[in-house]
Chains A and B, each alone.
Chain A
Amino acid sequence: MDTAIRTVDLHKNFGQVKALDGLDLEVSTGEIHGFLGPNGAGKTTTLRILLGLARASSGSASVLGLHPWADAVELHRRVASVPGDVALWPNLSGGEAIDLLFRLRGGTTDSPVYRQRKQRLCDVFDFDPTKRGRAYSKGNRQKVALIAALVTDAELYLFDEPTSGLDPLMESVFTAEIHRIVQENGSSVLLSSHILSEVEHLASRVSIIRSGRIVDGGTLDSLRHLTRTEISFTRDGVDMDTLATAPQVHDLSLDGDRVKFGADSDRVHEVLPLLGALGVKGLLVAPPSLEELFLHHYGDSIAAPAETADGGPHSHRHRHLTTRTGA
């Protein structure tokens, strides 16, 4: 099986609210897949459906070849997960909760392998397992769920905003642990986030969800190609007319003594000969930052600055659509 997760035209309605609106998501076996999207995009809803905690209104989902709703118990033997909002039992210590969750999977916590793993994870996450559930801070609650998931050998890990509440040091510990499980076991990972940098360090591929649909996806590099590279050089009496008429050049402008324009990232090589012929000086080529890429897909208000730099909302929306149908 080379796909760990596949959903086709997945819909989920909460009354009038369409939380998922035709979601097509595919995660291959052995990959770390980033699931990005703004608040309320439907990430948690998707993960809950994939876990069989919620049922899709229509469409199909297959996880490790199983039907998540009908085969939930069988699926849970092979999947480990961390919910978006971790709640603990107030009277159980963190260590007890971790052991209990492991035993619910049929595991025995007496084995030296388990003990050693749990101990190691508690150490690297700097986690005190003897406190009671209610005494943990948000980050420490998160650690309970992370340790409980990472202590098992699962074929697939589903993480809903796994690092929310963790400090930067712990985030890097988490990143290292994820790389470890993928390398050691060839597990697949789907991790939702709205923090780009986290995904950037981990994921080999990403899907961007917005309003319940996948609006973009692919490897990070391929996504970069879909946006514009910013190019600038010193004006210095260069004749700008040739550039203004070139089809690859967008939003030509003057900023002090520098000329600026944007070029489609996958056509930068076509622009360079023009610049060479013009003999420009002080050339600067800035590849698009992922932030820009990300903002591009986010809500209109957030995206506003990126869009003006890029030729106005309309041309943008258009690109949006072509990207999607192309993907």
Chain B
Amino acid sequence: MDALWVLYLQRLRRDRWQLTSWVLSIGVLAWFAVEAIATTFGNQAARAEILQLATATPAILVLRGLARGPELGAFTFFEIYTFLALLAGLMNTFLAVRHTRAEEESGRAELVFATAAGRWVPLAATVLHGAVANVLVAGATAIGFLGGGLDPAGSIVAGLATGAAGFAFLGVGLLAGRFFSTSRGANGISAALVMLAYLLRGFGDATGQISGDGLTVTAAWPSWLSPIGWGQQTFAYTGNRLWPLLLPLVVGAGCVAVVGIITARRDVGTSLLAGRAGPAEAAPTLRGPFSLALRLQRGAIIGWCIGGLAMGVLTGSLGNAIQSAITTNPQVTAALRAMVEAQGTSMTQLLIAALFEVSGILAAACGLQAVLRLRQEEVAGTAGLVLSEPVSRMRWLRSFLELGAVSVVLVMAFTAVGAWFSLLLAGDSSGAVADIWQTALNQLPAALIYLSLPAAVFVLWPRATIAVGWALLGLGVVFGVYGGMLGFDRTLRDLSPFTHSPVTTGTGTDWSGGFWMLGITAVLTVFALAAVRRREVGAA
């Protein structure tokens, strides 16, 4: 018992800042959402109108949620819950992997295992830590909604729905940690599963049964495959059902049980998907820092490209539904623009703009990972091996930046190809299809910022590279993509690169923001390349 307590406190202490920022972000987002919605869509009638538009526009349902009427609470839940649950999911999978697989990888787990703590207590401490974190998330969400002035019962249900979804992903993360032998692999796959859960329910919501008045949607079956979908089924503020939350809790507990069984049977440090033997000789292509970077990032790039492809395919899968809703009514598009941070003249254009913007985030994340890899290589010590050979620090940094740029382009290319095929298959022949390539190109400048900016951080403040890199991306997404909905003012939203992505409209594309970002990227890149020559390897 003592050991459990000690290990729990150690985890809490290690995560104190990280956990605080996750929990606070989630709570504050909930609060902002209520405030912004109360301001923008003040009265019931306005919200009803928007809801009717939304339910007729599957793209919005994918990115928002399950419509359950125009009442302020239900409307807020519809707008923000899936995003909160997404954040809670990522928080949990990272937490789970950080305290299990990553610990084993570093060898620290073995130290603990050798003590009286044995093999069960560390697992129990991680589960306890995660469970408490989810209680905090639930509390923060509920308080956020309450603080915004929503009714207590619904707010508590909404909070519980967020925490419960988080708990399911805690189990997913733990399980991934048992299956994969590296923390990168485990993090990657479990984050991908969180995204999948988000998209599954998006698909289910978008293809669900719309009520006669267009104000409520009954989700189709894919939503029932997703912990985030289960959370939505609580119908917070209108139904306040708690029984759907049994599902994520059972899934989470089930995963923990399976992990327990595996733990009982395996050695510390091993994984179920144990590495196979490798070749005794390197393939001819593995010959320089760029090919090494590619080899290291290959799995991640493939994963992000699949994500991009999925976003693209979603565009066309929803295309049919959109066909019927194509409208030239400017009032409708204006209202939609208030909900989706995108512009366009036709519904298809809107849909492409909205989903490609999400792909742009995936592309940025993929590129960012390539740059963060520099720091991981440095901390692991493998950077020293390369830099002890005739490879200059500049060439080394440049290789990872080049790979980052290639991955950004690849993710957008996969998105565009997926969208192009699926729209053609859906029979959409509108001009919007031709805009696909342009729209994909539009996302590149913002994503490239997420190469050059972390590269500069890597040179100037090595220790902070990874945290700052992800934080910048997170803030960029919240300010730039959700900023409008959350009612952030212009100056705040302008801080995000995504705000400045060029937008293709019927009359063409304004690339002034794009060129600015390309210029900033060029300056930051040149700075990083020049400054890394003066930087020691392995600096703190």
Contacts and interface: CB of A to CB of B under 8 A. Distances in A.
B382 A88 contact: yes
Most central of A54, A73, A145 by chain B CB within 10 Å:
A73
Most central of B277, B279, B280, B384 by chain A CB within 10 Å:
B280
A89 B382 contact: yes
A109 B384 contact: no
A132 B278 contact: yes
Contacts of B116: none
B277 A130 contact: yes
A246 interface: no
Contacts of A89: 292, 295-296, 382
Chain B, interface SS category: loop
Contacts of A100: 282, 286-287, 292
A130 B280 contact: yes
Contacts of B276: 132
Contacts of B386: 101, 104
Given A87-B381, A87-B382, A132 B389 contact: no
Contact of B536 (A54, A74, A88): A54
Contact of A135 (B275, B287, B296, B388): B275
Nearest to A98: B282
Interface size classification for chain B:
20 to 34
Given A53-B536, A54-B538, A134-B275, A96 B388 contact: no
Interface string B497-540: 00000000000000000000000000000000000000011100
A299 interface: no
A72 B292 CA distance: 21
Contacts of A88: 382
B385 A95 contact: no
Interface string B385-397: 1111111100000
A95 B288 contact: no
B380 interface: yes
A91 interface: yes
A85 B390 CA distance: 20
Nearest to A122: B280
B375 to A, nearest CB: 14
Interface in A26-85: 48, 51, 53-55, 72-74, 76-77, 79, 81, 83, 85
Contact of B384 (A53, A79, A96, A97): A53
A129 B391 CA distance: 24
A179 to B, nearest CB: 23
Contact of A104 (B275, B382, B389, B538): B389
B57 interface: no
B181 interface: yes
A96 B288 contact: no
A196 interface: no
A326 interface: no
B509 to A, nearest CB: 41
B292 A54 contact: no
Interface string B377-414: 00011101111111110000000000000000000000
Interface string A94-113: 01110111011110010000
Given A53-B538, A87-B381, A77 B282 contact: no
B517 to A, nearest CB: 33
Contacts of B387: 53, 72
B385 A103 contact: no
A311 interface: no
A93 interface: yes
A92 interface: yes
Nearest to B537: A53
Nearest to A104: B389
A131 interface: yes
Most central of B281, B292, B536 by chain A CB within 10 Å:
B281
A99 B281 contact: yes
A290 interface: no
Nearest to A82: B388
A92 B278 CA distance: 7
Nearest to A70: B533
Contact of B390 (A97, A106, A135): A106
Contacts of B465: none
Interface in B363-383: 380-382
B381 A91 contact: no
A101 B281 CA distance: 12
Contacts of A106: 390
B384 A93 contact: no
Contact of A95 (B282, B296, B380, B382): B282
Interface in B234-253: none
A73 B277 CA distance: 33
A145 B182 CA distance: 22
Interface string B280-301: 1111001111001001100000
Given A53-B538, A54-B536, A89-B382, A96 B389 contact: no
A24 to B, nearest CB: 22
Given A53-B387, A73-B391, A88-B382, A132 B275 contact: yes
A252 interface: no
A86 interface: yes
A54 to B, nearest CB: 5
Given A55-B536, A88-B382, A93 B279 contact: yes
18 contacts: A54-B536, A54-B538, A72-B387, A83-B385, A87-B384, A88-B382, A90-B181, A90-B275, A91-B296, A93-B279, A95-B279, A99-B282, A99-B286, A104-B287, A104-B288, A104-B386, A131-B278, A134-B181
Given A93-B279, A103-B288, 13 more contacts: A48-B537, A72-B387, A72-B392, A76-B388, A89-B382, A90-B105, A90-B182, A95-B281, A96-B286, A100-B286, A100-B287, A104-B391, A132-B277
Interface of B: 105, 181-182, 275-283, 286-289, 292, 295-296, 380-382, 384-392, 536-538
Sort A-B residue pairs by CB-CB distance and give the 5 closest, nearest first. A93-B278, A87-B381, A99-B282, A104-B389, A95-B280
